[in-house]
Amino acid sequence: MSEAIFGGPALPQQRHLATEIPGPVSRERFARRQRLVAGGVGTTLPVFVEAAGGGVLRDVDGNVLIDLASGIAVTGVGNAAPEVAERVAAQVRAFTHTCFMVTPYDGYVDVCERLAELTPGDHAKKSVLLNSGAEAVENAVKIARVHTGRNAVVVFDHAYHGRTNLTMAMTAKNMPYKQGFGPFAGEIYRAPNSYPFREVGEVSGAEAAERAIDQIEKQVGAANVACVVIEPILGEGGFVVPAEGFLPRLAAWARDNGVVFVADEIQTGFCRTGDWFACDHEGVVPDLITTAKGIAGGLPLASVTGRADIMDAVHVGGLGGTYGGNPIACAAALGAMEIMRKQDLNSAARRLGQLMLSRLREIAAAHPTIGDIRGRGAMIAIELVGADGRTPDAARAATVSTYCHSRGVVTLTCGTYGNVLRFLPPLVIPEDLLTEAMEVLGDAFTATA
Ligand code: PMP
């Protein structure tokens, strides 16, 4: 190939279908992938990407696809964003690794400072940096256990917290995340969530919280609970927004009972919902917050941030890891957070959300299979149901998604029942591209009716 490959916003922001999807070159590469990559690793859309930026991905056949996935809520600031790429390049030239536990460097401390400023609450905060979301959740549990001297961990229905042994135990859905992988870590207890669309009758946020609290007190005992860990808006579980009042009531109960309240904001964080964090919406201040994904514009970085006294409960040497807070990932995070602030990506997320919601309402008016439209900011989903308005229709979600892929729009499904289509555009996507993607989605419903 003679042409240099550049991603970032310079990549022409236009959907373009040069071949069928996937094209011949992608099909050939995918056959090779099948020979060499473990079968347990799935693929949503088998096109091989050679460049990405703004709101598009360009594949090896010359197709340009509209990105409604952001690599699962990661590239909010855009793919190969210049401020990220430049800082990464400078850091790679300076040094690539020392291990922060051996000899420290400023990037790690700078990221902790930004996290202390941006996360909810104005109390004294500290952070530990890690590599992945699952690792952050694991560490939040470690910290909460040492701080409280208690063992029990409360999680919720439809939760997703990761693929390590402890976080599999914390995750609700069996297939594909848990099947065959047990035995799982003990002392994990599951409480009912607030899922407005699937409640029988109207259940307020406060009532849903009381239902959960009652079960925790009866089945576990408040005095045994180290922490409750909750996604303020469910991610893999279907972008379910709990009823107003649910999170504040749970947080208040945790505070009153010496239970560490952990918000897993790995999918919802960093402007995705139109706030820095989803907890901000109702003024909930978690004791600990786990972040990853959107934090670093595509480089692997995660954190636990929280009240300094809780974070400091752990003995020296009890937290860490070879790569946690790697200098290159920290440089990327500092660039990404600067973009979020300078470009006001919270406002952008709100605008994109309004655009999606209004178009989705029009599509839903013509297609009653769309039973629920929900989400916040640029984290929007639709739940598909049968003629009774309730039975999950995972098959329709899959065919609509496949149609979108064939027309050059990258969509994802999710949900406990697999019947939710979720939309996670980069927060820097041009609005006309997002409108075009919504048109393709409308066509997909008509074509698959
Ligand atoms: N928690 C939540 C809410 C998530 O959405 C995810 C990833 N989908 C994780 C934890 C695990 O993150 P990772 O894949 O980086 O381990």
Residue 137 beta carbon below 6 angstroms from any ligand 1 atom: yes
- Residue 331: its pLDDT value, please? 98
Is there a domain that residue 388 lies in? Answer: yes
Check residue 186 and give left, alpha or beta (phi > 0: left; psi -120 to 50: alpha): beta
Give yes or no: residues 145 and 157 share one domain: yes
Is there a domain that residue 372 lies in? Answer: yes
Range of the structural domain that residue 258 is part of: 84-342
Is there a domain that residue 76 lies in? Answer: no
Is there a domain that residue 72 lies in? Answer: no
Which residue out of 74, 131, 161 has the highest number of ligand 1 atoms within 8 Å of its CB and is therefore the one to mutate?
A: 161
Q: What CATH number does residue 57 fall under?
A: 3.90.1150.10
Long-range contacts of 396-404 (CB under 8 A, 24+ apart): 396/369, 396/448, 397/421, 399/448, 400/441, 400/444, 400/445, 400/448, 401/444, 403/443, 403/444, 403/447, 403/448, 404/68, 404/437, 404/440, 404/441, 404/444
Is there a domain that residue 74 lies in? Answer: no
Domain boundary among 326, 342, 358: 342
Give yes or no: residues 331 and 353 share one domain: no
Three-class SS of residue 138? helix
- Residue 63: its pLDDT value, please? 98
Dihedral sign computed on CA atoms, order 157, 159, 165, 166: negative
Is there a domain that residue 137 lies in? Answer: yes
Domain boundary among 342, 362, 388: 342
Residue nearest to atom 15 of ligand 1 (CA): 133
In terms of Cα–Cα distance, which of 184, 211, 215, 214 is closest to 199? 211
Q: Which atom of ligand 1 lies at the shortest distance from residue 163's CA?
A: 16
- Residue 301: its pLDDT value, please? 98
How many domains does the chain divide into? 2
Q: Which atom of ligand 1 lies at the shortest distance from residue 264's CA?
A: 3
Return mean pLDDT, the chain. 97
The pLDDT confidence band at residue 5, using thresholds 50, 70 and 90, is confident
Give yes or no: residues 299 and 220 share one domain: yes
- Residue 159: its pLDDT value, please? 98
Tokens 């050059």 belong to which residue?
A: 408
Alpha carbon distance 248, 358 (integer Å): 29
Give yes or no: residues 303 and 362 share one domain: no
Which residue out of 293, 414, 416, 424 has the highest number of ligand 1 atoms within 8 Å of its CB and is therefore the one to mutate?
A: 293
Alpha carbon distance 169, 186 (integer Å): 8
Give yes or no: residues 323 and 409 share one domain: no
Give yes or no: residues 443 and 331 share one domain: no
Give yes or no: residues 240 and 257 share one domain: yes
| Residue 228 clears pLDDT 80, i.e. is over it | yes
Three-class SS of residue 229? strand
- Backbone φ, ψ for residue 371 (5° rounding): -85, -25
- Residue 2: its pLDDT value, please? 40
Give yes or no: residues 289 and 385 share one domain: no
Q: Which atom of ligand 1 lies at the shortest distance from residue 235's CA?
A: 5
| Residue 4 clears pLDDT 90, i.e. is over it | no
Give yes or no: residues 123 and 37 share one domain: no
Give yes or no: residues 253 and 400 share one domain: no
Task: Give the predicted TM-score (pTM) of the model.
Answer: 0.98
Residue 417 beta carbon below 6 angstroms from any ligand 1 atom: no
Is there a domain that residue 73 lies in? Answer: no
Residue-wise pLDDT for 277-302, tens only, equals 999 999 999 999 999 999 999 999 99
Residue 136 beta carbon below 6 angstroms from any ligand 1 atom: no
Give yes or no: residues 395 and 291 share one domain: no
| Residue 27 clears pLDDT 70, i.e. is over it | yes
Residue-wise pLDDT for 389-425, tens only, equals 999 999 999 999 999 999 999 999 999 999 999 999 9
Give yes or no: residues 355 and 323 share one domain: no
Between the CA of 293 and the centroid of ligand 1 the distance, in Å, is: 8
State percent of the chain over pLDDT 90. Answer: 98
Taking 3-state DSSP, the helix, strand and coil percentages for the chain, each rounded to the nearest 5, stand at 40, 15, 45
Q: What CATH number does residue 142 fall under?
A: 3.40.640.10
Is there a domain that residue 110 lies in? Answer: yes
| Residue 3 clears pLDDT 70, i.e. is over it | no
Domain boundary among 342, 367, 394: 342
Alpha carbon distance 136, 401 (integer Å): 31
